[in-house]
Structure 1
């Protein structure tokens, strides 16, 4: 009997050891997979990374091991819980790899906030996953299901599960704390939080350390010299007087006479729009932008220097609405999701115009919760937000496709007509979102020659998209002439499209960051705003630009932006453009001083005490 008990005990011990060893091995393999995902699935590069940073690799693998143990404690049976955890980690790695392939950026913790939009995400990411990735995912699901049924059960008493779960949670949580706090222990493992260059952050530190470090990341670091006195000095320099409204609405005359001095303003930020005819090596059977190219001769036109490429639309509208620049923010930041959603107010073009009696309207023909717009827009001061759910009858180019730019323009014009006084309307379109599969917006009518055949087909679809946008803009220009109120419309593309990387490589644009960040910018109006070109502007300067052309008094903050714009009209992490239109590598002392003022005010508004909110707006 004793012998039998001894054999049973040794059998259980071997089974437990096998179980624990398999989880440890799984943690090591998962860490390799995550790093491979960040390195383009190049396992040779992964081996080099492991050899160079063995402590980071081992610490990350141990974290995954304890994560698997935690799931084992939460889900009875020993193996089902860890298998579920494996599935989650593989999904994270896949998302990281696909995001890198399409936008050039890794997966950030705040990206997971989009999980609440899972249905819409499936729609807009259609085509991102290749058949190989889909087959791998399907095979993993089958293996998981098979493993849950066939692997031997590991029975643990409740007390042991509670103990195992507590210890595992404490150790996994300790890892997150050590990485996030920047402790000496993390430094001893050769971890360095490279938040200013997130792509290097992930490739050097590994996915786990970089992702965990970003859990504690602010959007902006505190600049030297920040204080109330510093903000008072800056405000005085640019005309701030500390009043609640530095530039109130016009006074005198009837309300109608006052309203007439304040034109309606329409912002139209067009999804993934740029001029495809700029790409060298490709020819188009017809000009997709007939109206835009023609109107550029008589309307203010130029380029917008987008802070993004291929995605992160919300960062472009963050700049356009607030006048704050992504240039000063930590690499990879998404202020809408990380900061603005936590704030009660933030000065912007919306609040400036509302002080003067404007109605503030937002229009986005898609899910209102994307990038937390349903929470951010009211915080910025918008009176009404019209989204896809409010437009059940809006036209789409194809069944199940996005609401067309033409339908969005028609709705914007309808809302401007219905306004009883001056209105500011911010429109964000969706028609041109990837994927660029043939027939996405109906039959392609423009043929493309040059380059590889696969790229030509993709460009033909994209050229068709831009043609439809061009026609929508022509309709807007026509409608502007018939509007009863003076109206100025500012049209721009938010970023270049996430076309196949080979298209930009063939064009030689990989070595030309400016071209990969310049989208089309145009101003249209039904009154004289001049015809002088805009040059290349950052989105943060659109507010001052339209105020100047529309004859509106500028608040002190816009006067600061005007000074910066005069020296550095294009300001992004990828490229800086000077007043002459050329790229600038070294800043002058005067430019450094201007950017220091700008940075201090931006920090004050986003992370500081908001002293400037009353002084400069």
Structure 2
């Protein structure tokens, strides 16, 4: 409550002092233009409104109860607001300092100082909410970020003829970005990256499940942003009155503005941040990169690498030969086995339905020393003893980024070769990308995708159409379905699958992307009979327990679904896997696993589990839940191989690649002996024959993937971004999600 009280006091003080300052000025200035500036009054009002908002937000319990940060923030905001309200008076004082014999020989010097101070405050407003310890940042990176921000503020200031509003809007935007970065890190343990800009609709769609509580550092950041705006407003004191303006002054202002903004543009486009400046994003710990190097430098280096780099010495003909060689190795090896022949004959005759379930945030957190709470993981899932295969699944997403796991499974491509912060569904043109939906469609299957949320999320409605799905069932198709915490339950999606099977006797490929377990986990909306009570080192954590309760529900729903399929009079294959872990296990990983190599330590966060199960005896398979650890890009081809489905040359190449590189994701890759290497490891880092083979296979697969994903003469970037779903068919109504 102290924060709310201080905020209201600060707001009242800003208004009262502002009125007092203007009245005093009115009594001493006959020239009304000298005592009245609309922009100053507007920005003073905006800052006072922010103070009022903080008071209301704090009263609702959404601001950390920290008196010091509240006091500092209100002092800074009040000082900033009063400076804006009293701009004419302060401008007169600054003008006096630039007069003959004053402290500054020219008004522009005072303006430059104000802009320099504004840049420093805006930088703090961006960084402090999420990056609390700036002493940990590389000094040159902090300097680079400061220079970029200050140059941008100055560029806008001079481009618009020393008007303060454009630069003030930028400073406010940077402050809002700093708060957004704080919340994204809080909810996902990941920074905002370039690919996120293509998925703003998705972010908005799932934002309601979180609690937005401002921390003490958020208050410090807001205060700094307010101070930045005040300095920008004061910088406008040097703008001459209309009668004193000249064409020469206009030209000089334009020149300075263009030079500042043009310099920034040239800097971020012509200089390779990664190779020249050494600003690199560690894919296994991107958050650490953003903390150490600053938000803007890290974001820029990510943006520069969003276009997939062509493999070194890449040639189309050589990549084609590699693909052919890897496919032939499969045909002569595993493809020629009796087991494969039996499974193929059975699949061709039976044409079983294939159900792929990508379960939201499904993972077994018992790998973290049972959470020091006796947690054993999802009971039924771990007890399945008659699966075709099961094991650890290494993914390229952590805490969020569901669509990247989806992309890897459906296409067989690995995010390891696409750089950090990239979301192919939102970024690339995937119209010619091989995928499971098109593959099953070519086999005569009916193909259906379902996701009980908005079809625009992650640009799915466009991507699924491009992939060849016959239908896409979205939230509109789940009206009246059971919900848990406001999310459609896993069980409801399974009921929809059973309904599809009942309505259509033809073979089907169904891809179910569930929603039940989506973060955040502090909703408090779980019924009492579904809650868990695990004590981590004796302490109850409501967030963790809500997540674990959801996994229990997923486990129960899966058990019920499997039992229903056992009794179904048609052959069905189920591929069930989690897309990523929740956002909080990194704290346990760092606290409880301190004596291990970096790759093993990192990969613990980037793994879930999978199972391939069939309700019939798959020919050539013992069906005893053989443990096969793999990665998401291999999972589709592994399933197709085990059940006898036809394979593309690309899938054959992937299966061959698995013999020497058993898994790969954005964090690293694993050799045939189970040893993990970090992304970028070379043959020098691989001290064994198996390691050398894995490094070579990784490089070969990068060329093959580039060939299949990008080397087809079409544009790299997607033609169907969110909001443009129907540009290829003008007869479809906006928002339509039925694909055919």
Pairwise TM-score range, normalised by the shorter structure = 0.7 to 0.9
2:114 matched to 1:22? yes
Q: Distance in 1 between matches of 2:251 and 2:487?
A: 49
How far off is 1:597 after superposition? Answer: 2.6
Once the two structures are superposed, the pairs formed by residues 499-538 of structure 1 within 5 Å of their partners are 499=584, 501-508=586-593, 512-529=601-618, 530-538=623-631
Measure, in 1, the Cα distance between the counterparts of 2:395 and 2:309. Answer: 22
> Is residue 350–residue 424 contact of structure 1 (8 Å, CA) maintained in 2?
yes
Q: Distance in 1 between matches of 2:217 and 2:454?
A: 27
Q: Say what the alpha-carbon RMSD is for the aligned residues.
A: 4.0
Contact 2:395/2:580 (8 A) holds in 1: yes
| Residue 243 (structure 1) aligns with | none
Rounded to whole Å, the distance in 1 between the matches of 2:258 and 2:212 is: 35
3-state DSSP class of the match of 1:106?
coil
Shift of 1:323: 0.6
**Matched residue SS, 1:215:** helix
Q: 1:385 and 2:469 equivalent?
A: no
Q: Distance in 2 between matches of 1:34 and 1:135?
A: 12
Structure 1 unaligned regions, length at least 5: 241-246, 248-256, 612-617
Moved more, 93-102 or 492-501: 93-102
Is 1:323 the counterpart of 2:412 in the alignment? yes
Equivalent position SS for 2:487: coil
Deviation string 1:391-411 (CA, Å, 9 cap, x unpaired) is: 22221124xx21111112222
Question: 8 Å contact 2:172–2:229 — kept in the other structure?
Answer: no
- Report whether the alignment pairs 1:229 with 2:320: no
In the alignment, what sits opposite 1:251?
A: none
Structure showing greater radius of gyration is 2
Contact 1:266 1:427 (8 Å CA) reproduced: yes
Structure 2 residue 300 is matched with structure 1 residue 212: yes
Structure-2 residue corresponding to 1:460: 545
TM-score when normalising by structure 2: 0.69
Deviation at 1:27, TM superposition (A): 1.4
1:42 pairs with one of 129, 133, 136: 133
* Matched-pair contact (CA < 8 Å) for 2:445–2:509: yes
Aligned partners of 2:370 and 2:645: how far apart in 1?
A: 44
How many residue pairs were aligned? Answer: 577
2:574–2:612 Cα contact (<8 Å) kept: yes
Distance 1:478 1:79, change over 3 A: same
Q: Distance in 1 between matches of 2:676 and 2:304?
A: 34
Secondary structure at 2:426's aligned position in 1?
A: helix
Inter-CA distance 294–203: structure 2 relative to 1 (3 Å threshold): closer
CA contact (8 A) 1:99 1:107 kept: yes
Q: What does residue 384 of structure 2 align with?
A: 295
- How far apart are residue 551 of structure 1 and its match? 1.5
Residue ranges of structure 2 left out of the alignment (5+ in a row): 1-30, 35-91, 100-106, 329-334, 336-345, 678-684, 715-740
Asked whether the equivalents of residues 123 and 149 of structure 2 are also in contact (C-alpha less than 8 Å), the reply is yes
User: 2:728 maps to which residue?
Assistant: none
1:363 aligned partner = 450
Q: Counterpart of 1:487?
A: 572
Q: Structure 1, residues 369-388: CA drift from partner, whole Å, max 9, x if none?
A: 22221222212222221112
Say whether the 8 Å CA contact 1:272–1:496 is kept in structure 2.
yes
User: Once the 2 structures are TM-superposed, how far is the Cα of residue 131 of structure 1 from its aligned partner?
Assistant: 4.7
Q: What's the TM-score, normalizing by structure 1?
A: 0.81
| Partner Cα distance (1:596, 1:333) in 2 | 20
Q: 1:425 aligns with which of 510, 515, 526?
A: 510
Higher relative contact order (CA 8 A, sep 6+): 1
In structure 1, what is the Cα distance between the partners aligned to 2:220 and 2:129? 14
| Equivalent runs, 1:71-220 vs 2, <5 Å | 73=160, 78-117=163-202, 119-124=204-209, 126-127=210-211, 129-132=213-216, 164=253, 168=257, 171-182=260-271, 191-194=277-280, 202-203=290-291, 205-220=293-308
**Kept after mapping to 1: 8 A contact 2:671/2:693:** no
* Shift, 1:493, TM fit: 0.9
Cα distance in structure 2, aligned partners of 1:351 and 1:345 = 10
Rounded to whole Å, the distance in 1 between the matches of 2:172 and 2:608 is 39
Show the counterpart of 1:591: 694
Q: 1:569 corresponds to which residue?
A: 662
